[in-house]
Amino acid sequence: MQIAAENRVARQWWQPAWMAPLLVLVVAFIAFSIPPYLSLDPARSRVPQTEGFAPHYPLLVAHVMFASVAMVTGCFQIWPWFRRRYLGTHRMMGRLYVFGGVVPAGIMGLTIGAVSPFGPTIRASNVLLALVWLTCTIAGFRMARQGRFIEHRRWMIRSVVLTMSVITNRIWAVIASIILIPQLPTTFGGNEAWMVQTIAGLSGWLGWVLPLLVAEWWIVERRPTPAT
Ligand code: HEM
């Protein structure tokens, strides 16, 4: 019922209003983030190698590739106009989102996340994010398989919000850098590693926890109220 109501509202391809800006952000993010990893040259990586863990770079590259699949397919999956028009493609692309995107990218994110060179705060964030991302996505997939489409929709909203949280992560990283870099000689006593780890930790946690809270609020707001 809820999905039918939404479909009636979103008749045009550009509805809802956040859809086009999201597509633009995703294209911009991928165009900026992926090229260094397509070269397969570790020297071009924006993440330094974790010492003593040889598979770090190959896993990072594979993570970036699978995560890009999740990001692009995730956009199409939540686009009401596309879903209404191409339901068969929505089902196929949903499998690609789960098994060709989130599951491999999440398992690799979990592995390299646990040994991140950016310190323990971001390691904890990465591991928890990967586990929550995988859980929401698999729950959403199982709900669809069982024909429980209201729950499917709710779990997949959480999943796609977490997929897109990589963008908010980078926005927080810029904000934290602008605020904290001038404090290197004061707050951090000149210790650059401490400052970098603080920026990474803050952007990691804020990047996904805040969007997930907003998604929860959105889901509760749109829950049909029982008749009194
Ligand atoms: C939502 C779950 C995700 C987790 C747990 C995760 C985890 C990680 C980890 C651990 C790293 C290495 C940096 C570090 O050690 O902290 C990394 C890097 C990276 N991830 Fe993810 N990631 C996720 C989602 C995504 C998504 C959806 C994309 C979209 C394409 C993405 C793109 C990247 C890129 C491009 C890098 C390399 C760093 C850079 O060049 O900016 N990740 N990720």
**What is the pLDDT tens value at each position of the chain, 228 positions in all?**
444 545 455 578 888 899 999 999 999 999 999 999 999 999 999 999 988 999 999 999 999 999 999 999 999 999 999 999 999 999 999 999 999 999 999 999 999 999 999 999 999 999 999 999 999 999 999 999 999 999 999 999 999 999 999 999 999 999 999 999 999 999 999 999 999 999 999 999 999 999 999 999 999 988 766 654
Q: Which of 46, 73, 126 to mutate to test the pocket of ligand 1 (most atoms within 8 A of CB)?
A: 126
What is residue 66's predicted lDDT score, i.e. its pLDDT? 98
What is residue 1's predicted lDDT score, i.e. its pLDDT? 45
The helix or strand, by DSSP H or E, that contains position 38, with its residue range, turns out to be helix 35-38
Distance CA 150, CA 148 (A): 6
Task: Kindly give the residue spans of alpha helices, DSSP state H, lying in the chain.
Answer: 2-9, 19-33, 35-38, 56-77, 80-85, 87-97, 103-114, 120-145, 149-180, 192-221
Spatial contact of 67 and 106, defined as CB atoms under 8 Å apart:
no
Residue with tokens 């594979």: 62
What is residue 225's predicted lDDT score, i.e. its pLDDT? 65
Please give the model's pTM, rounded to 2 decimal places: 0.93
Q: Which atom of ligand 1 is nearest to the CA of 165?
A: 1
Query: Does residue 63 line the site of ligand 1, with CB under 6 A?
Result: yes
- Tell me whether the omega of the peptide bond preceding residue 211 falls within 30 degrees of 0, making it cis: no
Spatial contact of 61 and 113, defined as CB atoms under 8 Å apart:
no
Spatial contact of 118 and 200, defined as CB atoms under 8 Å apart:
yes
Spatial contact of 65 and 37, defined as CB atoms under 8 Å apart:
yes
Amino acid sitting at position 121: T
Spatial contact of 78 and 159, defined as CB atoms under 8 Å apart:
no
Tokens representing residue 104 in the block: 């491999």
